[in-house]
Amino acid sequence: MSEYPQILGVNRPAIRVVQPLGTFYAFSLGADVLNRITYSQPAEVMERMERETDDSKGGYSIFGTQRLENKKRLDEIASFIRTTEATFPNAIILAANYDQNGQYILEENTDRRWKVDGLPDGPWTLHIPSLTERSASIIDGQHRLHAFDKLPIDAPERAMELLCVVFLELPTPYHAYVFATINFNQKKVDRSLAYELFGFDVDERPPRFWSPETLAVYLTRLMNTEKESPLFRSIFPAADSDKLFPNTDEQANEDVRVSMATIVDGILRLISKNPKEDRNLVRRPENKALGRESLAPINGVPLRVLYIQSNDKAIYDLLCNFFSAVRSKIWATAGKGSYLRKTVGIQALFDVLRELLVSMPITATNFSYDNLGKILEPCSDLDPEGDKYEASGIGKSEIKRDLLRALGKG
């Protein structure tokens, strides 16, 4: 029996599909329900998106994934829906667990997160938490879906079932990449264009213009691909990290497994309160000379000043020092299978890092590997058997509480 109450939303049977970019789930749901629980972020496309070709690249900026809606196209699809031949065999592609500001819905918010459960080989059940909250972004298919809202309010076709696929752990910059892959006819996407769509425009845009998302994803991928990193090859999905950072045949740190979304979100919360708004401000024409320096510090966002100053190396070194100390003092002594090494544990560790950053000056000495190791030493015996915590919001809260108590901050 499912642990997620049916009254909060709806459960649907799903098929699990594992691919290099990430795992997604195929299911069906009525268009009327989908229109209540999804949202689209229209791409702000200057000039070019509709006529982009391999030999004709133009200037544009993309802050969402979808094209601006075409009223004529919506009307045409709505008319087709009402025919006896209406069919939509292609899937509506969604990315769940991000709100309309692009912020990750944390594990402890169990009443807001899409989830799946099932045996390793299936069957799988998808749990949609609410039929009123918009907690899934439409990556592809907004015209098909929104055309149903053009029908009369009492039209029975509004409830037509549609095929959908949903990613549950896909950081927002990747939403645009999936959209680009689909809408460029499965051809290889130009490298600079892919970076732009990803938000990884590291070659085309000077670092001072990197949005918080761009930096967070870049640092996450760097931590996943640098063999000296404490999270080397421990973060999934890896996507095309090997192509961007060709490196080594060294073995992964297989004792730690964490989603890219968890690390990206952890970094984002240290540098921004509203990544979407920061991204828009950094790229406004009037801020062309300033880039990140156009942003203001925010109390309680401890690494924001380093981000504004484009001191990305300091942020990266600090993260590596912290998780290296975690690896030696906490993960090394935790029992096999401990959730200290998994998503909920790493989310709690980011919370602890934030507490440390707020409580003492950010200096090279304070946040050196040696000093952080001394600070975390009292946490070395939290879960020696590996069975103390669970994979839930409650588990994360318990880990955070125990870590802070061991540090004398509980």
pLDDT at position 112 = 85
Per the DSSP assignment, residues forming a β-bridge with 56 are: 53
User: Does the pLDDT at position 287 exceed 60?
Assistant: yes
| Amino acid identity at 317 | D
Q: What are phi and psi of 195, to 5 degrees?
A: -60, -45
- The pTM assigned to this predicted structure is 0.70
Does a structural domain hold residue 242? yes
Reduced 3-state DSSP string for the chain = CCCCCHHHCEEEEEEEEECCCCEEEEEEEEHHHHHHHEECCECCCCCCHHHCECCECCCCCCCCCECCCCHHHHHHHHHHHCCCCCCCCCCEEEEECECCCCCECCCCCCCCCCEEEECCCCCEEEEECCCCCCCEEEEECHHHHHHHHHCCCCCHHHHCEEEEEEECCCCHHHHHHHHHHHHCCCCCCCHHHHHHHHCCCCCCCCHHHCCHHHHHHHHHHHHHHCCCCCCCCCEECCCCHHHHCCCCCCCCCCCCCEEHHHHHHHHHHHHCCCHHHHHHHHCCHHHCCCHHHHCCCCCCCCCHHHHHCCCHHHHHHHHHHHHHHHHHHCHHHCCCCCHHHCHHHHHHHHHHHHHHHHHCCCCCCCCCHHHHHHHHHHHCCCCCCCCCCCCCHHHHHHHHHHHHHHCCCC
Calpha distance 261→172 (Å, rounded): 9
Confidence tier at 393 by pLDDT (50, 70, 90): confident
Does a structural domain hold residue 256? yes
Does a structural domain hold residue 199? no
Under 8 Å between Cβ of 148 and 31: yes
Same domain, 267 and 141: no
Burial letters 264-274, b for 16+ CB under 10 A, else e: bbbbbbbbbbe
Same domain, 215 and 343: yes
Does a structural domain hold residue 197? no
Query: How close are the terminal C-alpha atoms of the chain, in Å?
Result: 36
> What average pLDDT does the segment 158-169 reach?
94
Same domain, 167 and 243: no
> For residue range 293-346, what is the model confidence (pLDDT) as tens digits?
999 999 999 999 999 999 999 999 999 999 999 999 999 999 888 999 998 999
| Amino acid identity at 237 | P
Between these two residues, 25 and 222, which has the higher pLDDT value?
A: 25
Farthest-apart Cα atoms in the chain, separation: 71
Same domain, 138 and 276: no
Nearest to 239 by CA among 20, 9, 402: 20
Does a structural domain hold residue 113? yes
Where is the domain boundary, 142, 165, 191? 191
CA distances (Å), 344 to each of 46, 98, 166, 383, in order? Answer: 40, 17, 21, 14
Where is the domain boundary, 168, 191, 214? 191
Same domain, 252 and 150: no
Does a structural domain hold residue 335? yes
Does a structural domain hold residue 196? no
> For residue range 59-97, what is the model confidence (pLDDT) as tens digits?
333 334 444 557 788 888 999 998 888 999 999 999 999
Does a structural domain hold residue 156? yes
pLDDT at position 348 = 94
Tokens for 74, please give them: 């919506």
Same domain, 228 and 100: no
| Amino acid identity at 177 | Y
> For residue range 94-146, what is the model confidence (pLDDT) as tens digits?
999 988 777 788 766 677 889 999 887 879 999 999 888 888 989 888 889 99
Same domain, 213 and 181: no
Under 8 Å between Cβ of 37 and 128: yes
Under 8 Å between Cβ of 354 and 299: no
Same domain, 133 and 253: no
Same domain, 331 and 185: no
Which residue range forms the structural domain that includes residue 19?
6-191
Same domain, 153 and 242: no
Same domain, 123 and 218: no
Confidence tier at 49 by pLDDT (50, 70, 90): very low
> For residue range 244-274, what is the model confidence (pLDDT) as tens digits?
444 555 555 668 888 888 898 899 999 999 8
Domains in the chain, number: 2
Same domain, 140 and 68: yes
